[in-house]
């Protein structure tokens, strides 16, 4: 992304992501001696090869296999998200587009485009980036980088389904109707003097929250689009809140609590009734969409952009560290993985965690019930992994679901997760 250092939101990362990479949607990866292409169809068995660019490497139990790869080497993917019914997967791009694909076929079903940025700038060497007057470097193109997206939960109160909401570095919040043949912009808000990096919906779909360059969280009423509450720190040492940019937000599944993380090495636990951060966790260095809550709301997952203790689990009630999840990169890699994205499985009966980042340029899937064993790795990526997302349910017969992995190389990889 394009606004701050040391993250997918950094000038350096934007420069890195602007480099063209090779590949197309027909690329295949070798997994457990079986070559798979689009939608995971098996071909003739082959001996397992050394990891190639974007290879999917099976771990404990041989539980993952590639479904398909969708590639746009002209840009980078900042956020990826499955629709509530898993029939669609959306990817927000650095060129201001959002692409929505069918998870069954890989077909592009919608192309959503944001308006051209209102701020002028100067082209940087190579013509791939523009330095805005504000000092931000963004990819040259028709629109503003879309930093994060969320699908609105499909509830009985929702009159329109397949509503996707995006945020960008211009401070815009745009509601889209992302249905094939009927895609259009439904509504637009703007947070003046803010760059937005993250968004999340409450589980009932009645509220959404945003965060970014400013140190506060804004919670909106989804029906009226009015501000419900501003979550911000105070001068009191009892409720300091964030002291730097915010990159990840999550609503608690049942309580009036919002959890957020960012550059200040803290995770804040906000009470929406008071508008203040009632508690803080100290240590995580969150530079992407790397804070999550377990389905039962008892455990916080954090991913940090650092070379050790990147992936951690915390007890929400006691605010104590539960454990570090060990990240082992291949000995052939000189760089450790610095985490940009981390997520619990959305399946309440699942114990899986997905995470990915830069440095080693890889993503991994872990199983908490197996002692945090790694059940698979997406490795050999030419650029960092900026986003991961689990599907809400099974993808095909005999499968436990899907996970999407995307990042700086412009590729969106869908991976099948198989039952043990």
CB atoms within 10 A of CB 371: 10
pLDDT mean over 22-48:
29
pLDDT in tens, 98-137: 999 999 999 999 999 876 554 444 444 444 444 444 444 4
Q: What is the mean pLDDT of the chain?
A: 82
Query: Do the bridges between strand 311-315 and strand 373-379 make them parallel or antiparallel, or are there none, so unpaired?
Result: unpaired
Residue 293 lies in a domain: yes
Compute CA distances 154 → 104, 158, 162, 284, whole Å. 20, 6, 8, 32
3 state DSSP class of 14: helix
Distance of CA 38 to the CA centre of its chain: 23
Closest to 343 (Cα-Cα) out of 417, 267, 404, 415 = 404
Residue 264 lies in a domain: yes
- Domain around 78: 64-117+128-417
Residue 44 lies in a domain: no
Q: How many domains does the chain have?
A: 1
Residue 18 lies in a domain: no
Sequential DSSP letters for 90-125:
EEEETTSEEEEEETTT--EEEEEEPPPPSS-EEEPT
pLDDT at 36 over 80: no
Domain containing residue 70: CATH number: 2.130.10.10
What is the DSSP code (8-state) at residue 40? G
Write down the number of H helices and E strands in the chain.
1, 35
Residue 286 lies in a domain: yes
- pLDDT band at residue 393 using 50, 70 and 90 as cut-offs: confident
Distance of CA 289 to the CA centre of its chain: 5
Residue 55 lies in a domain: no
Residue 39 lies in a domain: no
pLDDT at 398 over 60: no
CB atoms within 10 A of CB 110: 21
pTM: 0.82
Q: Looking up tokens 């996707």, which residue turns up?
A: 164
- pLDDT band at residue 215 using 50, 70 and 90 as cut-offs: very high
Residue 261 lies in a domain: yes
According to the per-residue pLDDT averaged within each range, which of 68-72, 126-130, 300-304, 398-402 is highest? 300-304
pLDDT mean over 59-80:
87
pLDDT mean over 5-29:
35
């Amino acid at each position: 992304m394009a606004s701050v250092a040391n993250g997918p939101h950094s000038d350096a990362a934007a420069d890195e992501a602007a480099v063209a990479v090779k590949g197309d949607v027909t690329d295949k990866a070798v997994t457990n001696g079986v070559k798979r292409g689009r939608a995971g169809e098996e071909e003739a068995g082959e001996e397992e090869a050394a990891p190639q660019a974007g290879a999917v490497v099976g771990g404990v139990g041989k539980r993952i296999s590639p479904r398909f790869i969708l590639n746009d080497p002209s840009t980078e993917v900042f956020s990826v998200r499955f629709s509530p019914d898993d029939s669609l997967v959306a990817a927000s791009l650095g060129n201001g587009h959002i692409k929505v694909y069918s998870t069954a076929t890989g077909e592009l079903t919608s192309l959503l485009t944001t308006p051209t940025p209102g701020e002028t700038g100067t082209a940087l060497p190579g013509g791939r980036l523009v330095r805005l007057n504000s000092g931000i470097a963004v990819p040259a193109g028709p629109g503003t980088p879309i930093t994060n997206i969320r699908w609105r939960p499909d509830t009985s109160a929702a009159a329109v389904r397949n509503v996707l909401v995006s945020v960008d570095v211009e401070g815009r919040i745009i509601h889209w109707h992302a249905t094939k043949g009927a895609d259009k912009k439904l509504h637009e808000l703007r947070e003046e003097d803010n760059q937005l990096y993250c968004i999340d919906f409450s589980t009932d779909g009645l509220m959404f929250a945003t965060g970014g360059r400013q140190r506060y969280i804004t919670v909106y009423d989804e029906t009226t689009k009015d501000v419900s509450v501003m979550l911000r720190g105070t001068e009191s040492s009892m409720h300091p809140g964030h002291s730097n940019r915010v990159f990840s937000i999550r609503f608690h599944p049942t309580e009036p609590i919002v959890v957020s993380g960012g550059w200040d090495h803290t995770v804040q636990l906000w009470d929406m009734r008071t508008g203040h951060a009632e508690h803080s966790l100290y240590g995580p260095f969150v530079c992407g969409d790397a804070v999550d809550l377990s389905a039962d709301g008892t455990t916080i997952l954090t991913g940090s952009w650092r070379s050790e203790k990147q992936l951690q689990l915390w007890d929400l009630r006691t605010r104590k560290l539960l454990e570090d999840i060990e990240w082992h990169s291949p000995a052939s890699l000189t760089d450790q993985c610095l985490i940009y994205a981390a997520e619990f499985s959305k399946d309440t009966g699942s114990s899986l965690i997905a995470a990915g980042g830069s440095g080693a340029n890889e993503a991994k899937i872990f199983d908490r019930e197996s002692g945090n064993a790694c059940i698979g790795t997406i490795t050999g990526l030419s650029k960092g992994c900026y986003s991961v997302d689990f599907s809400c349910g099974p993808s095909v017969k005999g499968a436990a679901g899907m996970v999407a992995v995307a990042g700086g190389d412009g590729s969106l990889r869908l991976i099948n997760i198989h039952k043990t």
